[in-house]
Structure 1
Amino acid sequence: MTSYLVTGVAGFIGSSLARHLLERDHTVYGLDNLETGLESNLEDLTGNSNFEFINGDLRNEDDVRGAVADARYVLHQGAVPSVPRSVEDPVLSTEANCTGTANLISAAHEADVEKIVVASSSSVYGPTEVSPKREDLPANPVSPYALTKYFTERLAVQASEFYDLDSVALRYFNVFGPHQNPEGDYAAVIPKFINLMLEGEQPVIYGDGTQSRDFTYIDNVIQANLNAIESDATGVALNAGCGDSFTINTLVDELNGILGTEIEPIYDDPRPGDVPHSKADISKARDLIDYEPAVSFREGLERTVEHFADDQTILEHADD
């Protein structure tokens, strides 16, 4: 039995990672301050005797030291997400994402953690026209969020040199799947669109819908994290995507096909800080951590739609 600290455990990716680890009988310490995470994501975790929830803040050094003390490995998902949110409140994003990561790396070094994998983002590439995105491209973060993620991954990469702490940064490409929050102004596009279209409502596309994304199902990201832990790779940043991309217009078409609907989107002005296109070159991750995405975009969409449809059915019966 191996012990892991998962930061941001009440978030979509953090709770998914914790769930996967617990299913394999690992011990999981989960840290979250519940500011952006959801307690509902913890409901099926808290009854497991191998799980310990720690209500703490990455910005608090004592909270972080206590959380990491008994962990062999760290999967760092804790952050304030969203490009628009970071534009509105760059101080919060910087404190949580940058200071929080610095605290965690320092504490992991002190606790002799074997390896840390941190969540970075494809947003660090910025609006470059080069496609697919390769890790050797110069970073060009054009939003406060992207800048914090670039700082986060550089801290992790340098940890292997300065502190002899094995580390890998994973640049996530538009992760989606069950348990992702569909509500609110900062909701990710796929769960938000699914939720609206299940209700027969029109989704809003910011821009003309030709912007494209490498949508990556959650199981692929879980695989990337665990492969990174088990590999010899250290001091590197790697893409974690699918190596393919789809436009937002195509996303709506695919969802209509799965749902059996013909809902037209509403178009609005582009949002500041959004990049036009994003597609991962995953050859380096293949070479260094044996990463190969197992779930396609279409299959991932079908699984995610099924999850949200089941949730709506449960809610409807609860109201009867």
Structure 2
Amino acid sequence: MLKDSKILVTGGAGFIGSNLCEKLLELGNKVTCLDNFSTGKKINLKSILNDPDFKLIEGDIRDIDTCMEACKGQDFVLHEAALGSVPRSINDPITSNEVNVSGFLNMLVASRDQGVKRFVYAASSSTYGDSKNLPKEEDIIGKPLSPYAITKYVNELYADIFNKTYGLDSIGLRYFNVFGRKQSPDGAYAAVIPKFVSLLMKYDSPVINGDGSYSRDFTYIDNVVEMNILALTTTNKKALNTVYNVAFGERTDLNELVALLKKHLGSFDSRINDVNIIYGPPRQGDVPHSLASIQKAKDLLGYDPRFNIDSGLKEAINWYWKNLK
């Protein structure tokens, strides 16, 4: 079903998007990347820029004409473009809303008008908000704890309405703390794993917000790529027009995470084991604990993630050691 398809990846120069572009080309498809490079990087596309089956459009999803042009002739859309980060959305809720809600709506309209067969989009585990339930199950959510979380929940509502009103099939993927190759350690809103890896490699002390007991379901990039492919290729009608957790289904607290980082980095440089950890105040808008149930994805899509936190970190740190040194 997927080979020889035309697939648009928005945010295709970003961490997740660029990994998706590479895999889709490897599987024999024609891939178009739409990115404005606000957070994505051209270096992430270095290996595929000259591939005859790859096309790069530099543009912004906030512009409806750009979205229409990018969707023209596409079979599928993988919508990864967004402004991530809870702190960023707290500091600048207006831009987060413009990109994550208005931009998302533009892409839905363009996909509808250009006859796209299926719209698969990046949702977020932040949608669970203040729900105390563990593990997180798709049908039980709480109130959002940040502007970012609101934007990602609105995406789900819009996708549902576009199916019911216009017949556009979609699947939302609630990502849980994705990590892996090409994830940037730079900037104020860098994710915890690349940020800590970069600091430890320089023998600098990472700062843990809180006492280190906050936990996350850290999810390696290859599990995420697998889930996107399953969402694109499923022929199970019951699997469409809903949302899925994308995770491994295990919880790791930040103290355990640092111990694993030191273990894998220490195999390259034993001095990293002696770097001290600093503890700071908890971060506003942070959810204390996150753990996904992946049963729905297993049952309806056949999802079977291969990488747990330990094996994923080993792969990721091998990549960082080669590319950050």
User: TM-score, normalized by length of structure 2?
Assistant: 0.94
Within-5 A mapping of 1:124-203: 124-203=127-206
Q: Residues of 1 paired with 2:209 and 2:290: CA distance?
A: 16
Q: Residues of 2 paired with 1:157 and 1:75: CA distance?
A: 16
1:31-57 Cα deviation digits (max 9, x unpaired): 011111112112222111111000111
Q: Give the equivalent residue in structure 2 for 1:317.
A: none
Match for 1:311: what amino acid?
N
Which of 297, 301, 305 is the equivalent residue of 2:313? 301
1:113-171 Cα deviation digits (max 9, x unpaired): 11011101000101322100001113421100011000112212222211111100010
Task: State whether residues 137 and 293 of structure 2, in contact with CA within 8 Å, keep that contact through their aligned partners in structure 1.
Answer: yes
Q: Residues of 1 paired with 2:80 and 2:37: CA distance?
A: 13
Q: Give the equivalent residue in structure 1 for 2:244.
A: 238
Match for 1:157: what amino acid?
D
Shift of 1:294: 1.1
Match for 2:303: what amino acid?
Y
Which of 67, 85, 102 is the equivalent residue of 2:70? 67
Q: Residues of 2 paired with 1:230 and 1:157: CA distance?
A: 19
Task: State whether residues 130 and 142 of structure 2, in contact with CA within 8 Å, keep that contact through their aligned partners in structure 1.
Answer: no
Q: Give the equivalent residue in structure 2 for 1:318.
A: none
Shift of 1:198: 1.2
Match for 1:297: what amino acid?
I
Q: Give the equivalent residue in structure 2 for 1:249.
A: 255
Match for 1:124: what amino acid?
T
Q: Give the equivalent residue in structure 1 for 2:121.
A: 118
Q: Residues of 2 paired with 1:127 and 1:89: CA distance?
A: 21
Number of corresponding residues: 313
Within-5 A mapping of 1:1-320: 1-231=4-234, 232=236, 233-260=239-266, 261-313=273-325
**What SS does structure 2 have at the residue aligned with 1:78?**
coil
Match for 1:167: what amino acid?
S
Task: State whether residues 131 and 278 of structure 1, in contact with CA within 8 Å, keep that contact through their aligned partners in structure 2.
Answer: yes
Q: Residues of 1 paired with 2:112 and 2:155: CA distance?
A: 16
Task: State whether residues 131 and 142 of structure 2, in contact with CA within 8 Å, keep that contact through their aligned partners in structure 1.
Answer: no
Q: Residues of 2 paired with 1:179 and 1:56: CA distance?
A: 21
**What SS does structure 2 have at the residue aligned with 1:150?**
helix
1:226-277 Cα deviation digits (max 9, x unpaired): 1011113211011111111100110001111112223221111111111000
Q: Residues of 1 paired with 2:324 and 2:100: CA distance?
A: 33
Q: Residues of 1 paired with 2:74 and 2:294: CA distance?
A: 29
Q: Residues of 1 paired with 2:324 and 2:189: CA distance?
A: 21
Shift of 1:302: 0.6
Task: State whether residues 160 and 234 of structure 1, in contact with CA within 8 Å, keep that contact through their aligned partners in structure 2.
Answer: no
Q: Residues of 1 paired with 2:175 and 2:37: CA distance?
A: 22
**What SS does structure 1 have at the residue aligned with 2:283?**
coil
Q: Residues of 1 paired with 2:318 and 2:141: CA distance?
A: 39
RMSD: 1.0
Task: State whether residues 61 and 103 of structure 2, in contact with CA within 8 Å, keep that contact through their aligned partners in structure 1.
Answer: yes
Match for 2:63: what amino acid?
N
- Contiguous gaps of at least 5 residues in structure 2: 267-272
Task: State whether residues 129 and 141 of structure 2, in contact with CA within 8 Å, keep that contact through their aligned partners in structure 1.
Answer: no
Q: Residues of 2 paired with 1:186 and 1:281: CA distance?
A: 27
Q: Residues of 2 paired with 1:292 and 1:127: CA distance?
A: 28
Q: Residues of 1 paired with 2:32 and 2:324: CA distance?
A: 31
Match for 1:144: what amino acid?
P
- Contiguous gaps of at least 5 residues in structure 1: 314-320
Following TM superposition, the consecutive aligned residue runs of length 4 or more in structure 1 with deviations greater than 2 angstroms are none
User: TM-score, normalized by length of structure 1?
Assistant: 0.96
Shift of 1:200: 1.3
